[in-house]
Amino acid sequence: MPTNYGRFTRRDFTRKAAIAAVGMGVGFGARAADREKAGMKITIIGDGSCIPDVGRETACFLIDGKHLVDTGWCAALNMRLYGFDPLRLESVIFTHFHQDHYLGLPQLLFYVGLRKRKGPPLNIIGPSEHLKQVLDAALAFLQVSRFPEVAPSYALVPLAAGDSFDLPALRLETLAAKHVSSLGRREQALVYRVTEKTNGARLVFTGDTSYHPPIAEFSRGAPLLLHDGAHTSAGDAARIALRARVGRLALIHYGQSQAGRILAEARAIFPRTELATEGGTLALPP
């Protein structure tokens, strides 16, 4: 009889480690004092490109286990795989509205609606031009008028470049990214600077963007710049990090076949470069 005894994949290991961390209070159960001491934690839910490799998810991640950035193809499922409960989310933050960054929104809304997420409305934050359109389409897909029991409680937060928004624990500031569709249309896309209010930990992340020098000034001195690795060359992302004098550069949104090449290309310019890896956590100091 065939068995799977002894088969233990990287994903199995990461999932068990994430669940153990949550159980020890490193994730959702950490006390306020622990969070202040720990700084900010970025958990990579997906690292892949527009059509991710088999067994992986496209680019999306969690901030402190409570704020989901983009929804990939199936972020709610991957959150659960790595030991995080979508019901504990306080916000969903979109960088822009190309399909691979919001395909997972209906599934997430279905989960939090059907499971009756408690607490304040879920903040759904993103570029103002298409935010309501995408949300309305997701709710129409779920047929909430026909099945009101799955309707989620939410609050829309539309943002334009230069806007800021305060969540209970985080401050968000924005900059325009430089991103176009395959037909050459300019996409309203945002770069975010996120600051933890209790300890001052800072993160800058880009979403999809072509090489865009203003990102360097926007991320000046940040401990971590999480930069698109698909639409900007690794070398150009590294040049942004070098000019910004950030502590570390992490590249996200890449195909696995390209991982070694882009890491080497970036490190040749900015040695403190790493790859954001699905299931991994990037810890930022307070």
pLDDT below 50 — which residues of the chain? 1-10, 13-33, 35
* Residue 185, pLDDT score: 86
For the chain, report the end-to-end CA distance as a whole number of angstroms: 53
Q: What pLDDT sits at residue 85?
A: 98
User: For residue 274, with 0-12 CB atoms within 10 Å meaning exposed, 13-18 middle and 19 or more buried, which class applies?
Assistant: middle
pLDDT at 181: 80
Closest CA to 277 of 63, 46, 54: 46
CATH class of 10-284: alpha beta
In which residue are the tokens 């926007």 written?
218
Do 209 and 232 contact (CB within 8 A), yes or no?
A: yes
Under 8 Å between Cβ of 58 and 278: no
- Which pLDDT score is estimated for 274? 98
pTM for the whole structure: 0.88
| Residue 181: C-alpha distances to residues 29, 84, 99, 131, 210 (Å) | 41, 32, 11, 17, 11
Q: List phi, psi (to 5°) of 42.
A: -110, 115
The predicted-structure confidence for 86-140, as pLDDT tens digits, reads as follows: 999 999 999 999 999 999 999 999 999 999 999 999 999 999 999 999 999 999 9
> What residues form DSSP beta bridges with 127?
159
How far is 257 from 154, CA to CA, in rounded Å? 38
Total Cβ atoms within 10 A of residue 17: 15
